[in-house]
Amino acid sequence: MSGSSRLFSPFSLRGVTFPNRIVVSPMQMYLAPDAVATDWHFQHLAKYAVGGAGCVFGEVLCVEPRGRNTHWDLGIWDDAQVPPLARIAAFLREAGAVPAAQIGHCGAKASRQRPFDGHGPLGPDDAARGEPPWTPLGPTDDPAAEGYLVPHALTAAEIATIVDQFAAGTRRIDAAGYDFLEVHAAHGYLIHSFYSPISNRRTDGYGGDRRGRMRLALEIAEAVRGNWPDDKPLSYRLSCVDGMEGGWTIEDTVALARELRARGVDTIDCSSRGVRGATSLANLEASRRPAVAGYQVPYAEHVRRETGIPTMAVGLILTPRQAERILEREQADLVLLAREALVDPHWALRAARELEPDAGWQRWPPSWAWWLAQRERTGIEYPDGWE
């Protein structure tokens, strides 16, 4: 195809080839009654694959009920949760995208309201309308944010059970037919809360120095990789910096990424922040500073350069030319869209038209391309007074 761009070049990890470098990032929708995917989730994800993305992630699948953010999160702790996910994975593949899943545990951030219901801890009013609170879990009994529920500090035996839950969830995701798996270890959720010195004050083998604080992340990586087929790639989403004094740093992330790679992790999804805040942008919002487009791309670039492991760039990647520059400068290997995909589910198809104008409508679905090319050939004339 003439005028080929980096954004639309294929990329391979293990036995999986991504048709282009555009990935729709996991985004929680908080619309899953009984933690089971519905037709809403099917249509929400299907349109990104039809819209040309090379890989489409579903939202985080929680490994146990206590690991959910809200009563409306998706889960992967029961075999009954598999069939609706399998339907989604099959369609994503049929539409030409790599079907991807994310697995995680929300830790001390669990047992809260949906963002559009307030985003605070669940309480009596929530219980009265059928959403009672539960006790969240964490490395210590420190709340995840001011006013949040006090978590139960996990024992070593309880940690082992959670590692087993990740393994079991991984097997279910494989049974559902997904080809790419990511562990959510960022944004103040359980794994991040263990490796961050801000939230982990333990003095046993899961705390103390950096090696102890990384232990849970590495044990989960081993458990997931051990239950995920060798020919399927594995990603880890990390908060590369805490953005707080005395917190986790980019050099800490480099050290963790090297250990993860040694355990079979194939790429690092480079996000940031989230500890001691309701969201990953909480400390930016508190500083009254706007987020800068591409503000997290330097983390992906640094980890890629220092470790040699492929990285995924996230964080206000808005335009096709911005995404193309990230790849041209070798700052990352894949680019992730989140809210921009919500704005324009056909972002990838529009990007093809912008970056590869000589290719015409070749990257669009043929049943669309025929009509659009015909309209383009015919041209459009606007009558007087048209606005």
Domain count, the chain: 1
* Residue 3 belongs to a domain: no
What domain range includes position 295?
Answer: 11-378
* Residue 383 belongs to a domain: no
* Residue 58 belongs to a domain: yes
pLDDT tens across 151-169, in order? Answer: 999 999 999 999 999 999 9
pLDDT of residue 387: 62
Local confidence band at 380 (pLDDT 50, 70, 90 cut-offs): confident
* Residue 248 belongs to a domain: yes
pLDDT of residue 4: 82
Beta bridge partners of 271: 239
* Residue 385 belongs to a domain: no
pTM: 0.95
- 248-to-107, 120, 187, 312, 331 alpha-carbon distances in Å: 18, 25, 12, 19, 21
pLDDT tens across 183-224, in order? Answer: 999 999 999 999 999 999 999 999 999 999 999 999 999 999
* Residue 2 belongs to a domain: no
pLDDT of residue 284: 59
- Asked if 122 contacts 132 with a C-beta cutoff of 8 angstroms, the reply is yes
Amino acid at position 186, single letter: A
Please list the active-site residues.
Answer: 189
CATH number at residue 370: 3.20.20.70
Nearby residues of 314 by Cβ (< 8 Å), 6 or more positions away:
25, 269, 270, 271, 296, 300, 336, 338
